[in-house]
């Protein structure tokens, strides 16, 4: 007999599966990212119809059946409903979920990222912090986690302090100075590069004190998303809506 396990998880995405079921990608604290079948959940009266919605943070009862898990029950902890009330906030928050999804392999436990993700969503949903700054900081954190810590002091190629323009080398994933810029480099504005540096030294709950145009935060997000796409060989679809 297969044992039922109780895990805490957040739904990253879901897809139709067979006529009445859904395949749900859940990032769990205990097992990392898993794919789980949720049976018969598409009817309006289905008890667990909340459990395939992105942002659903719940305690899931799961069993492993062959390759997939099956969700047999779920107790809602938080639906983060308010994230869906404003389109801009919704897209930025969806990017948090997608960044989590692309940054981890299946069944690779990562409690650090789990807490980072839940906290970032809470900050956007309840603390009224600027969503673009929270997501930009989340991007910075993801790069550190993946081992691409940004050197804000000196060019990663020649080791000299930055003078003038700064570029992201998409081949190496590191930032370089104008003299070391090669073909596959992307310029980042000095304002955006400075913002990333500020974000790296600012706790989430202090982000409200940063006054900067939204376009600069977005440039940070898009630069890091491009970098991640090159590092991970994956497309980050939500970045298109930012
Ligand atoms: Zn250089």
Same structural domain, 130 and 216:
yes
Q: What is the CATH number of the domain that holds 205?
A: 1.20.1440.120
Check: CB of residue 33 under 8 Å from CB of residue 108.
Answer: yes
How many A from CA of 65 to the centre of ligand 1?
Answer: 53
Position 38 scores a pLDDT of 96
Characterize the bridge pairing of strands 174-177 and 68-78: unpaired
Same structural domain, 206 and 97:
yes
Residue 69: domain span: 5-78
Q: How many domains does the chain have?
A: 2
How many A from CA of 161 to the centre of ligand 1?
Answer: 8
Q: What is the CA radius of gyration of the chain?
A: 20
Where a domain ends, among 61, 78, 95?
78
pLDDT band at 1 (very low <50, low <70, confident <90, very high): low
How many A from CA of 150 to the centre of ligand 1?
Answer: 14
Same structural domain, 106 and 56:
no
Same structural domain, 170 and 150:
yes
How many A from CA of 151 to the centre of ligand 1?
Answer: 12
How many A from CA of 144 to the centre of ligand 1?
Answer: 21
How many A from CA of 30 to the centre of ligand 1?
Answer: 43
How many A from CA of 154 to the centre of ligand 1?
Answer: 8
pLDDT band at 31 (very low <50, low <70, confident <90, very high): very high
Same structural domain, 21 and 96:
no
Q: Give the SS3 label for residue 61.
A: strand
Q: What is the CATH number of the domain that holds 45?
A: 2.40.50.140
How many A from CA of 159 to the centre of ligand 1?
Answer: 6
Same structural domain, 73 and 103:
no
Where a domain ends, among 34, 49, 78?
78
Between CA 220 and CA 88 the distance in angstroms is 16
Same structural domain, 35 and 140:
no
Same structural domain, 59 and 145:
no
Position 241 scores a pLDDT of 93
Contacts of 125 (CB under 8 A, 6+ apart): 80, 82, 83, 93
Where a domain ends, among 78, 100, 133?
78
Mean pLDDT for the chain? 96
Is the confidence at residue 12, as pLDDT, over 70? Answer: yes
Same structural domain, 90 and 70:
no
Same structural domain, 9 and 32:
yes
How many A from CA of 235 to the centre of ligand 1?
Answer: 29
Between CA 189 and CA 195 the distance in angstroms is 10
Please state the rounded mean pLDDT for residues 160-170: 95
pLDDT digits (tens, 9 = 90+) for 128-155: 899 999 999 999 999 999 999 999 999 9
Same structural domain, 57 and 161:
no
Same structural domain, 229 and 156:
yes
Rounded to 10 deg, the angle between the 87-103 and 131-145 helix axes is: 10
């Amino acid at each position: 007999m297969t044992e039922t396990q109780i895990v805490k998880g957040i739904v990253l995405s879901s897809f139709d599966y067979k006529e009445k079921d859904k395949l749900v990608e859940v990032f769990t604290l205990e097992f990392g990212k898993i794919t789980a079948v949720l049976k018969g959940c598409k009817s309006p009266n289905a008890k667990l119809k909340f459990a395939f919605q992105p942002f659903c943070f719940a305690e899931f009862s799961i069993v492993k059946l062959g390759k997939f898990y099956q969700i047999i029950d779920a107790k809602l902890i938080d639906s983060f409903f308010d994230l869906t009330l404003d389109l801009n906030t919704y897209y930025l928050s969806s990017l948090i979920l997608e960044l989590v999804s692309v940054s981890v392999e299946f069944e690779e436990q990562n409690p650090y990222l789990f807490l980072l993700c839940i906290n970032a969503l809470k900050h956007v949903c309840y603390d009224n912090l600027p969503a673009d700054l929270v997501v930009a900081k989340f991007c910075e954190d993801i790069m550190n986690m993946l081992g691409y810590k940004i050197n804000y002091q000196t060019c990663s190629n020649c080791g000299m302090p930055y003078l003038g323009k700064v570029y992201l080398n998409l081949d190496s994933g590191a930032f370089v100075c104008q003299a070391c810029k090669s073909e596959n480099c992307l310029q980042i504005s000095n304002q955006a590069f400075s913002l990333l540096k500020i974000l790296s030294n600012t706790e989430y709950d202090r982000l409200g004190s940063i006054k900067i145009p939204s376009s600069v935060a977005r440039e940070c997000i898009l630069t890091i998303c491009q970098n991640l796409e090159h590092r991970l060989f994956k497309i980050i679809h939500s970045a298109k809506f930012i």
